[in-house]
Chains A and B, each alone.
Chain A
Amino acid sequence: MEKEKNHSRPVEESDVKDNSRRDFLKKSALMTAVALTPVAAARAAEMHMDERLAQVFEKMPLHLEINGVAHNLMVEPRSTLLDILREQLDLTGTKKGCDMGQCGACTVHVDGHRVNSCLTLGIMVNGKKVTTIEGLAKGDQLHPMQEAFLKHDGFQCGYCTPGQIMSAVACVREGHANSEHEIREYMSGNICRCGAYPNIVNAIQEVKEGGMAI
């Protein structure tokens, strides 16, 4: 458990400065030699030695602006934007539903465009601006789409809601909220197991018809 905690804490670049690549490679060569004996290999596996070393070697710097705040992180290339947001930055508003791009719970905006953060490798959006559900409200003032979802009861369990709202904001901004049919089509990437769809459509229509800049 302790190891997992370490793993998920935000890792700043300075944390790994001392572990130079060369230093790692030496350790790595040693590890390989040691690992040739089955007993040592078993012991190393038990202690998660290989994983700990890999962590130092495999992480790459990632710069992101998230909800207006700049972050300099070290991430594994295999880390998805979703996992970086949730596990490294504690931005748990963005939800992990299917984790395979089918449910839309993980929808965030990257440079203003909605994407599935579960299929986005964090390293590939280096230098970009990310907006999550936490970035919509201005202080205590909710975003008009959040207000509309509350007013129209656009959810039951709420798990899909952050993704629905991020998608809904983008849907209006893109100009794809001109009719119920169009809203339903352009919101089809967000699945709601509770079936709050009619209320979600109502919420989006109200924001669209309100005509305010969102």
Chain B
Amino acid sequence: MKQFQYQRASTQQSVLDAISKPGTKIIAGGTNLVDHMKHGIIAPDKLVDITHLPLKGITPTKTGIHLGTLALNSAVAEDALVLQKQPLISMALRAGSSQQLRNMATVGGNIMQRTRCTYFYDTTMPCNKREPGTGCGALEGYNRMHAIFGASDKCIAVHPSDMCVALAALGASVIVVGKKGQRLIPFNEFHRLPDDHPELDNHLAKDEMIIGVDIPDNNFAKNSYYLKVRDRQSYAFALVSVAAALELSGTTIKKARLAMGGVAHKPWRLFEAEKFMEGKPVSEDTFKQAAQIAMQGAKAYENNAFKLKLAPASIVEALKHAAGIV
């Protein structure tokens, strides 16, 4: 790992000052960044450690729950308020990573984590995300883990987070702060599709930092489910994951939320399928039709065609669990 300068930040302002200079990266849990630095994927000149800022809180607000950017993944997963009001987030967090890593990883870091595409990690391979202009090794390579939605000919990587899939489904907002002040980014608009610039994972400006996430109150707590399908039962990235949340009125679906992980460059919210389900009866048939709508526009590559079957089946399964008809 290349040498770097280390700064322990004690104020938000000192973080903003530090990141205004090129070559400086924020570090919190470090589970992703340190790994990248060891692999030679990035080599910052300076790290600014934000873990001493008072941004760890998990607190009720007038309209929902606020998660401080430094709240640990393990703390959020087991927080009583989260479990009571937003169990989907807890389920997603516990489906991700290991307890050791959840004890280190933060909310902000989880949102900022980068793809696990093996071509991104292997510095001897071409990768437009790691080194723009070098090409995409996965496009005609071993692309079993890769995207079926929203990819471009520059990049077919997927976003690896589970927590983000739940936050996307629940319509959370990311609170970011920069020199010009604070702004809220709707979760679905935070991450971006690769298009011509896969090196950019999201819309956070270079001189901005995440300070927290707001999750609005809802009536999904009773009928939420996070389904993660992976190569082993635990501690693996998703082939496909589904966050499903329903608000029921008897056996009628009043409101539905649906998002998928492991299928796109960003958490993949399924607005059309949600709309379709609203007002429909709870039934396997409704869910199958919703899954069919969700899969419109899907495109597979040589090694991931199985996702075209796995994804809709997972959607149906997750919705059945959420509705309690399993």
8 A Cβ contacts from B1-34 to A: 1-6, 8, 27, 30-31, 34
A188-B234, A188-B235 known; A77-B6 Cβ under 8 A: yes
Q: In the complex the two chains form, is A124's CB within 8 Å of B27's CB?
A: yes
Q: In the complex the two chains form, is A80's CB within 8 Å of B100's CB?
A: no
B210 CB to closest chain A CB, in angstroms?
A: 18
Q: In the complex the two chains form, is B99's CB within 8 Å of A114's CB?
A: yes
8 A Cβ contacts from B24-60 to A: 27, 30-31, 34-35, 37-39, 47, 49, 51
Question: Which residues on the B side are within 8 Å of A107 (C-beta)?
Answer: 100
Closest A residue by C-beta to B232:
A188
Question: Which residues on the A side are within 8 Å of B38 (C-beta)?
Answer: 99-100
Closest A residue by C-beta to B28:
A124
Closest A residue by C-beta to B34:
A119
B98 at the interface (CB under 8 A from A): yes
A101 at the interface (CB under 8 A from B): yes
A45 at the interface (CB under 8 A from B): no
B134 CB to closest chain A CB, in angstroms?
A: 23
Question: Which residues on the B side are within 8 Å of A10 (C-beta)?
Answer: none
Closest B residue by C-beta to A191:
B235
Closest B residue by C-beta to A117:
B100
Q: In the complex the two chains form, is A76's CB within 8 Å of B99's CB?
A: no
Interface centre among A100, A107, A115, A185, by most chain B C-beta atoms within 10 angstroms, is A115
A199 at the interface (CB under 8 A from B): no
Interface centre among B1, B4, B6, by most chain A C-beta atoms within 10 angstroms, is B6
8 A Cβ contacts from A73-119 to B: 76-78, 80, 99-101, 104, 107, 113-116, 119
A176 at the interface (CB under 8 A from B): yes
* A76 contact from B3, B39, B103, Cβ within 8 A: B3
* A116 contact from B27, B31, B74, Cβ within 8 A: B31
A124-B27, A171-B99, A176-B99 known; A100-B35 Cβ under 8 A: yes
A107-B100, A115-B100, A189-B100 known; A58-B3 Cβ under 8 A: yes
A186 at the interface (CB under 8 A from B): yes
Closest B residue by C-beta to A114:
B100
B161 CB to closest chain A CB, in angstroms?
A: 15
* B100 contact from A123, A167, A185, Cβ within 8 A: A167
Q: How far is the CA of A114 from the CA of B99 in the complex (A)?
A: 8
Q: How far is the CA of A119 from the CA of B104 in the complex (A)?
A: 9
Question: Which residues on the A side are within 8 Å of B47 (C-beta)?
Answer: 77, 121
The total of chain B residues at the interface (CB under 8 A) is 30
Q: How far is the CA of A114 from the CA of B105 in the complex (A)?
A: 12
Question: Which residues on the A side are within 8 Å of B94 (C-beta)?
Answer: 185
A107-B100, A120-B30, A124-B49 known; A189-B3 Cβ under 8 A: no
Closest A residue by C-beta to B72:
A113
Q: How far is the CA of A95 from the CA of B164 in the complex (A)?
A: 32
B101 at the interface (CB under 8 A from A): yes
A101-B35, A185-B234 known; A116-B4 Cβ under 8 A: no
Question: Which residues on the A side are within 8 Å of B99 (C-beta)?
Answer: 114, 167, 170-171, 174, 176, 186, 189
Q: In the complex the two chains form, is B100's CB within 8 Å of A104's CB?
A: yes
B133 CB to closest chain A CB, in angstroms?
A: 27
Q: In the complex the two chains form, is B234's CB within 8 Å of A77's CB?
A: no
Q: In the complex the two chains form, is A77's CB within 8 Å of B35's CB?
A: no
A60 at the interface (CB under 8 A from B): yes
A42 at the interface (CB under 8 A from B): no
Closest B residue by C-beta to A176:
B99
Q: What are 24 inter-chain pairs, A to B, with CB distance below 8 A? A: A60-B6, A78-B3, A80-B34, A99-B38, A100-B38, A104-B98, A114-B100, A115-B103, A116-B100, A116-B101, A119-B101, A121-B6, A121-B34, A124-B27, A124-B51, A126-B8, A167-B100, A176-B99, A184-B233, A184-B234, A188-B98, A188-B233, A189-B235, A190-B98
On A, residues with C-beta under 8 Å from B are 54, 58, 60, 76-78, 80, 99-101, 104, 107, 113-116, 119-121, 123-124, 126, 167, 170-171, 174, 176, 184-186, 188-190
On B, residues with C-beta under 8 Å from A are 1-6, 8, 27, 30-31, 34-35, 37-39, 47, 49, 51, 74, 94, 97-101, 103-104, 233-235
